[in-house]
Structure formats: C-alpha cells, structure tokens
Structure 1
C-alpha cells in the first residue's frame, strides 16, 4: 500500500505512513497510530501531499441523478461513481467526494471499499423529503428556542403586570425547572439568555413567569428526598409464642392530639418500668426491599405541608402502637433504683394493650395510680442527668402547618407547648436509649452508640434567651459509632437512639441487631453495621436539611400572607451594629442591622421587609 495513500479510520481521513510488525502506521488528526489493516478502509491508492490538504480540499457538489440512473438501481464502487461524476478528481479531493456520496439519499454508502447500493428514485425522494422535514423541524425548534430566550429576557426586564406564554413555552420552562430542583447543575437556556445558572435564579424565573406558584416548596426534591411514602408489600405477620403477653397491663401512648403514628408506650408494673417501642424490624429484615428503601430515605420527612414516611402508611398501620386492640412491640424492661439508675435490662417481644391519650389529658391525670409513678421516675432521671452535667437548652419552637382550601395554601404558625407529660415521655425515651446501649455493651453486641463531647460553656452565662443561645453555640457535634462514650449534653454515660424505628433508619438497624441477638442468630458484624448506619445517616441528614429549609420557606410564605405582621424580637448577641435576634412567635432566628446600641435580652418590635422566597432571605426592621 502506497505511502500517503488515503484511508478512512473511524470514519475520518488518515494517511498511510508505513508498515511494521504486521501493523500499519497511519497519520490521523490526533497523531500517529499503529493499527491493523482491518481497522481502516481504503479511500484511494493515490497519495496526498498532507493530511491537512485532504481535510481542507473541496469538490463541486454535483447532481447524482444521472449516475444513479446509469447504474440502474444496482450497485457500484465508490471509485466508479467518483470517476463518472467528477472524471478527474485529485487524490486529496477524495475525502470531500466521499462525504457527498455517503450523504446522498440516492446511495447506501457504508465504506469506500464496499459496493454502494443504488436506491430507487422513489426511495431517494422519500429519504430526501424526510431529511428536508427534519431540517425544517430543527430550524423551527431553533427559532422557537431563540424566541423563548428573547421573550424570557424581555419579560424578566419588564415591570410586573405582563403575562408569559406558559402554554407555548412550557417545555423550555421544564428545563429551567430541572435546575431549580437541582436535578441538573446547568441550564443552556439561562446561559444563552445571560441569566444566572443557579437554582435560586431558576426558582425566581419560574415564579416570575407563573410556571410555579410562589408557595412551591422545592427543598425535599433538592435534597433528594421522595415526596411520597413508599408502598410496602408486607408479608403476613405471625404473632406466635415469641411474644410475652402483657395485655393485663395498660400501656400509655402519650402524644400530640390527633397523632396518627404512635411508636412508643410506657407503663410501670410496680417493680419494672416498661418502655414499649413499635417493632417493624420483626418483618423488615436487613437488606430486604423495604429495608433498602428505608436506608435511601434515612428518616421520615416531616414538612409543614405533609409527611413522607420512611416505611410507608401500611407499616404505620401494621406496627404503630394503639391503632388496634392489641399491639406488638419490642419492649425494654428496666429495673431501677430509687435514683432512677438502671440496675438491670431485659429486651423482649411483647403483646400489649395500649391506651392512646394526648399530652394535655396525661397532664390532667398525672396523679392517677397509673401515671404518677411515670412522672416520678422521669423527674428522678432528669435530676440524675442534671447532676451528671446534662445541658438543657430552652429555645422557642413553633409548629408550622399548611392547610389547602380551594387550591390555596394557607400557613399557620403556633408555639409548641411543652407540657409536663411531654417532658416525662422525653425522659422515658432517654432511659430506653440508655438501657439499649447498656444491654448491647454488656452482651458484646456490635451496636450504634451516640455520644457528644462536653461543651465549653462560659463561666458566667447570661440570663434568658441570650444565655440559651450561648449554650447552644457551645455544643459540640454528636458522634455516631460502635464504641460507647459519654453523651455529655444528655448526661448519660452510654446512649443509643432506638425509640423511633418507624421514623429513623438508625433506630431500625438497632432493632434488627437486637432481634438477631434475642433470637440467637448471628448478629451483624461491626463493619457491616457501620456501613448501614453511615448510609442511613447521610440520607437522614439530607432529610433534616430538607425539613429545615422547608420550615424557613413556609415561614417566609406566612410573612407574605400576613403583610401587616409585627412581632417581638429578642436580642441574642450583638457584634458592632449587627444583632442576632430570635422571634419567638414564628420560631425564627436571623441577623438584623441595628440603628442604635441594644443590650442582649432586650426586646423590640419588628416587621418583615424584602422577603425573597427563592433565596430564603428576609430583612427585619425595628418598628
């Protein structure tokens, strides 16, 4: 084969440069390569002065009709067609000629060294018509894209009052929506319109055009958390002799009025404190479909407009406590001394009879024979933790709820009322977490322990909310691992979270591990346990981020819906002319510029200005 003969390699021109060891050296646009003969096809044996000449040479575009008629719907070689059509092509023009032949609807040209099939006139006309139609549609799409970009740019600059053609441009707005939901990190449309390629910019455009209502909450999707609860196909649940019958004792599930997913209940039998927890791990075993889906979610998503459950509605109906006459639980049986110190722990499956009551009802009945011991144990446990250095932080919290009526979403914000029974149940759950940790440690069970280093608190804390804020700032991050350590903030020597297996994946894993041990099965090894905990923890953090951003979003919507709102703000901290403020009535903290010097804990009236929904910002000014 001649040196500098022109060949096609990967459908691009190349020149033969030599042959060594059974392979050909060819010059390509990317440089010299060694290839086998079967890897290229010969375009012409005649040589060319350079590859650049081949790439830049042109030849006149002909009418191939006569050539097609000459070969009478049969086949021909590329060289034959080239000679008939152009007669005296130079070698370097062969590449340009091949491009024209292979692009013609009259020919089926796959390779220059294979026969080229000649299409019929009708076939060629149909292909040509399809090509014209495709090109016309492409040009129309490009023009529509240009129109959209121009109209969008103009619309964004116009004063409010104009309307955007959503019907005409909805498919383009869907591309921008993908950026607003962080399903992609770029938008060619915004780039071409010379607009910022950020989720916040896309969010603002979707609101401005009317494609999104201002109430649209993008944060669960941004943080990759499904908005719908999973649909679980639960296997039949068999409650056999494994469950100890405790139906002679009334266990109390104490929760908010109207709670639909109670997952804990408590009672005292005169000798032992019983803390009963919902038991989905009996059916949802490690690496089952439901387990893996829960791992991806990490936790139940609670946002003001609704709930997306980690385990689905069917799991709540099957495992929540008190929804049926008899409930089945994983129960923590605690023997305590007079100071509420744990002397002994047993963990077992139980069949229980549950009475669901509200926090308010429990407060009313706190001196009853059934509830009084629970309140007494809780108070002893609180004092025990306080003596051990527990740090309690009392910052304002609110409940944000969104109600929809006639397709209009209305936001309601009400302060949380932490009743005595709420605090009692909190102590019960802490005792259960401590008991589970002690049980696992005593029995050498690989387990998830939660710890937290002691905060470095100022020697003198301010009073009021400013002091609570200082305590919160001093808190260290929590640690989750398989080695027990002090949870200083709670004042507990070893602790684990196990009280919400319907709502937290880490709790579900803890239950799975405890059940394996109770049943005498091989428990999960430490590395395996850590992998599961880590995966669930990452997803759980994203769930928390989505909840936090959603609450902030709906708080700003509330302020928009109540333009005359004014509220009391408390100064938490000041740095020069900037203050950190807390607004208890809406559970909101932010920075605020001060016109004059103010002291911590001083109270001022404020109103909201410059509310920016896409950027989650608001400016508060003193009234």
Structure 2
C-alpha cells in the first residue's frame, strides 16, 4: 500500500529529483520532467504534495520569507505543509518543492520532509559565516586566475603561484592552479606559464634548481692552516694562466732548467678527510659554473686563503718532473711548497710566447702533445664560447684556439700523468681517469668529421686502478690540478699528500665510497651547466631582432640537417634540402625561440 496521500497526480521526491505519480499498485510508477518513467518502491519516495495538477516545469522560482519563518521555527518541529505556508503563504506543489530544497540546503532547516526542524541560531550563524568565507575564497580564486591569465598579478598572488614554481622546478608533479587553467602539469608548461603571467622574469634560469643543484656556496668556518715544513720554491718564476676574470686560480707553472713544476693549491692541507669541509665538498662534487655566477663546493674563504697568486706567497702541492725526448714524464716528485705566483690571462701569455719566460715551456709541452697525438689522442675541433651574464646582459665570446691555452692544458695533463704514475709506483689508491678506445680511430680534419668522431666516444670515468685514457692519449692519468673546484681532484691530493708527508692514505674501500658519492652528484652539476649555457644562448637569440648568421653542416639525416652555429657554439637541426653537403656554410635566420622547451627554430636564407 502506498504512503497515505500518495496517489496518481501527487508530487514526490525520488532521491533528489521531483516526480509525478502516474499510477499506484504493487509498485508506484513515477514520471520525471524529461518524460522518463520509473517503477519504484514506496520507501524510495517522499510525498511532497498530494496534487493534482502538478507541473514539474513550474516548480522552480517560488519566492518567500525564509528567515522570518526560520526565526519562528528555531528549535521547533513542523510539517512540510506548515513550513510551506509560513514561508510562501500557501501550500502548493511549488512551495512544497521549495521547502524540500531548503531542507536539502541545510542552512535553516534540518530533518526530513516528514519531520522538519528549525536549526539553532548559533548553528545557522556558524554555517552562514563558513559559506560566506567559502564564497569569498571562490570569488578571490576566480579573480586570481583571471589576473594570472591576463598577466596582471598583485603582490599577494605570488604566494599562490609557489606551487606552480615547484612544478616548474621539478619538485612536484601537481598544481591546482595549472589544473584549473587546463594547463599541462609539466615543468616546461609551468615555466611558460610563469613567464606569461609575470611571476618569473623573461630570462629566469630554472635549470640548476630543476636538476637539484645546490645554488648557494657553503658558509662554513675554516680551520687554521697548520705550520709545516714546505719546500721553498719562491725563487722560481711561477705563472697562473687563466681566462680573463677568473676568480679561483688553483694551478700555476714554473720551469726550473729542464724541470717543469706544476703548483696546485694545497687544498688538502686545509680540508682533511671526513672533516666538515670534506663532507660538504663531497656532497657538492664540484663548483657549479653558471653564466650568471659561480657556486663553490668549498667556502669562498678557502679560495682567498689557498688561491695561487692571491697572496704574496701561496702554499701549494707541487708536482715536479721532466719530459724526455720521447715525450714521457720522468723524474717525478711531489712536495708541499711555498711559491710566488704571477697571474696572467691566456691572451697576455699568447703575446709573450717567444719570450724567455714561456718559449722553453712551450717547446716542452709541444713535445709532450706530439707524443700524445702519436698515441691517437683525439683532436676534436668544434667551436667553443664563453657565456656570461653581466649586469643582466648576456655576453657570448668565442674562445679562440690559442697556443697559450694548449700549453697550459698539456702542462696540467703532465701533472695528472705524474700524479697517476707516482700513485701507482707507491701503491697509493686514487681515482684514475680512464676512457675506453672507440670502435674506430680517426684523425678528423673538418668540423663534420670532428662531430662524427665525437659521437663514437664513450664517456671517461673514475677507476680504482690505472688504465688508458684514450681521448688524451695517456696510459696513466688522474685529475689533479683543480682541488678547489672538483672533489675528485681533492681526493687525489689528500691521498698523495698523506703519503709524501708520512701519513697514512685511505684504503681502497674508503676511496671508492667517496668517488661513488661525489660521482652521483657530478651528473647534476654537468647537466645544470650544460642546460644553463643553452638557456642563456636562447635568451641572447630572443633578444636579437631576427638574428642572422652562419652555420656549418655537421651531419645529414633523412629529413634534417645537423648544423653548428660557430658564433654561439650552438648545435641545432634545420630542414634538409637536396643541395646540402657536409661542411657547407649556410646563412640562417631565427624564426622562433621557445625558452621553456629549450628549442630554437631557424630558416635558411
């Protein structure tokens, strides 16, 4: 039997939908506004109005005095009919439906359509305040989204965009803001959005943070530099030859008759294994060199104390050796020392290579280079540039191939070979740098040949026993000359220094642990530097007015040509045409620069 009063033509509530009863039997048939019908059980419906004459399309829009009725019924119970008459002045299908909606809303009334109760004033006040707060927040959120889309941010908006910045920096994968604006929740899309809305300036570089690099130099106290016996090499003319503007000189060269000395900042005298400085440097792996500045692996004060040529006298770990007629390193000695160092740029040294201070050294390093080339050392000749950001301006300067730079490079390789041979001869465990031989050995002449040969190379890596470094043409080599800049070099210094001063070098297991820990971070540093250099090249291109310049074809693919823009040392791809040949020079013009995607598109002109 149906609920009393439930008959054909009555208005009922089925779940949250109004319906009209069309027939009553074992089950009740109801019809919805869309004309669809359904057979339901008595308990599935609630009677709102007995009818007849219910027009479902006319239910909405009833107006009444809700608050006055609620004040009369606060804390009291009443029937649906009584509430409808209090609010709307009459009991009709429309007023009954209106009461059911107020009951569903739950602000003023609670209970069921069979037993309605006016809510207490404090409960209504509390919920009203919460609703007003929610409505205000929704309005503010919508206004914020509109400002973000229009790029008219207010200062208070920046805190809301922190979540988008975390997506752009790869720290999280979700953003309510991006989702609300139907923007892909990816670092590239977040980056592009932050540029559009003005949260990040147009040139902002997110790549180091996205790789997880530490962006602040350490601020740790330095222990005092201990007094100890040191060989006095201050009589020698010692030169720290670096790029103009270098701020962390950690190697210098002297010539004592036919004996070469490579002096290296004695960082291991200050940074002991497992000290707080050592642990900090290990966790960073290396200095981070960005166009906009440098982040050091050791406190900057360490450079002030240990950098060669920054004081009247500098402390060093000096590597002495000779190069015989066959270009081999012989007569190796390693000693803590005191030196007087003069600082000079590559360009200044280049102008003085024929002078007595440099000519003999240049001859020796060339003999050494010839010996390496005879052992198939690789000569990859591709353009290089220096990218710097100075007071907001991007400066890109090609690095010319200077004999002075090659002279210093070979002197540093000599020191690395001397360190490796000394360690092997004395059973000292150090990380050696090794590189396997490629499947094919070539002597590239052109730019395209250098590009193709480089692709055959496998990366160099650290090993606990000596092995050939094919690219350098050396059978023994260890990175040794940059302990202020690279943790691997510092480990080598700590081991060698312990031996030559009568201490105990670390065992292989401990060295291996240090190499693995620093090596894991090294990839972060390299990626951050590579991506940052590309970022600033793209910023430079974007700032030009339709840049035009030369490119050289490095490789021809099925549909694309790989080209090198020497002015920027930038490798990219353009559409291939039938007339293209390797090493052909083309004129290109920038079409589009997409900084967040690290992409640039050129057309041939």
* TM-score band, normalised by shorter chain: 0.7 to 0.9
Pairing 1:323–2:298 present: no
Q: 1:561 aligns with which of 538, 543, 546?
A: 543
Contact map agreement 2:556 2:576 (CA 8 A) in 1: no
What residue is the counterpart of 1:54 in the other structure? none
2:232 corresponds to 1:249 = no
Partner of 1:606, secondary structure, is strand
Deviates further, 444-453 or 258-267: 258-267
Q: Is the 8 A contact 2:151 2:196 kept in 1?
A: no
Relative to 1, partners in 2 of residues 1:334 and 1:135: Cα closer, same or farther, differing over 3 Å? farther
Deviations along 1:530-587, one digit per CA (max 9) or x if unpaired, are 1111211221221110111111111111011112321101001101231000000111
**Closer, same or farther: CA 520–142 of 1 in aligned 2, 3 Å:** farther
Match of 2:433 in 1: 450
**Is the contact made by 2:226 and 2:269 (CA closer than 8 Å) also made in structure 1?**
no
TM-score, normalised to structure 2, is 0.77
The separation in 2 between residues aligned to 1:440 and 1:499, in whole angstroms, is: 15
Give the secondary-structure state (helix, strand or coil) at the position aligned to 2:489: helix
Aligned pairs for 1:207-606 (under 5 A) are: 207-241=195-229, 243-404=230-391, 409-457=392-440, 463-606=445-588
Question: 1:166 & 1:345 partners in 2: Cα distance?
Answer: 66
- For residue 298 of structure 1, report the CA deviation from its aligned partner: 1.3
* 2: CA distance, partners of 1:224 / 1:130: 46
Contact 1:232-1:315 within 8 A present in 2 as well: no
Change in Cα spacing, 1:356 to 1:505, as seen in structure 2 (3 Å) is: same
Contact 2:272 2:494 in 1 (8 A): yes
- Do 1:577 and 1:596's aligned partners in 2 also have CA atoms closer than 8 Å? no
Change beyond 3 A, Cα 1:476–1:248: same
| CA RMSD, Structure 1 to Structure 2 (Å) | 2.4
Structure 1: runs of 5 or more not aligned: 1-64, 67-123, 156-161
Confirm or deny: 8 A CA contact 2:218 2:298 kept in the other structure: yes
Which whole-Å CA distance do the structure 2 matches of 1:245 and 1:130 have between them? 83
CA positional deviation for 1:611: 0.7
After superposition, the Cα gap between the structure-2 partners of 1:129 and 1:261, relative to the gap in structure 1 and judged at 3 Å, is: farther
Deviation of residue 482 (structure 1)?
0.2
TM-score where L is the length of structure 1: 0.74
| Total equivalences in the alignment | 488
> 1:140, CA displacement in angstroms?
4.0
Deviation at 1:232, TM superposition (A): 3.1
- Mapped to 1, the partners of 2:602 and 2:272 lie a distance apart of 50
**Is residue 253–residue 354 contact of structure 1 (8 Å, CA) maintained in 2?**
yes
Which stretch has the larger CA shift, 283-292 or 181-190? 181-190
Contact residue 317 and residue 335 of structure 2 kept, 8 A: yes
> Equivalents in 2 of 1:190, 1:292: separation in Å?
39
Cα gap change, 1:445 to 1:134, in 2 (>3 Å): farther
- Identify if the C-alpha distance between structure 1 residues 128 and 507 changes in structure 2 by more than 3 Å, giving closer, same or farther: farther
Q: Report if aligned partners of 2:417, 2:478 keep a CA contact under 8 Å in 1.
A: yes
Residues 176-212 of structure 1, C-alpha deviation per residue, up to 9 Å, x if partnerless? Answer: 0111112223223323432211011110110000111
Instruction: Give the drift of 1:271.
Output: 4.1
Which structure has the greater CA radius of gyration?
A: 2
Taking the aligned partners of 1:251 and 1:568, their CA distance within structure 2 comes to 41
Describe the shift of the 1:270–1:565 C-alpha distance in structure 2 as closer, same or farther (beyond 3 A): same
* TM-superposed deviation, 1:344: 2.4
Mark the CA change 1:458 to 1:503 in structure 2 (over 3 Å): closer, same or farther.
Answer: closer
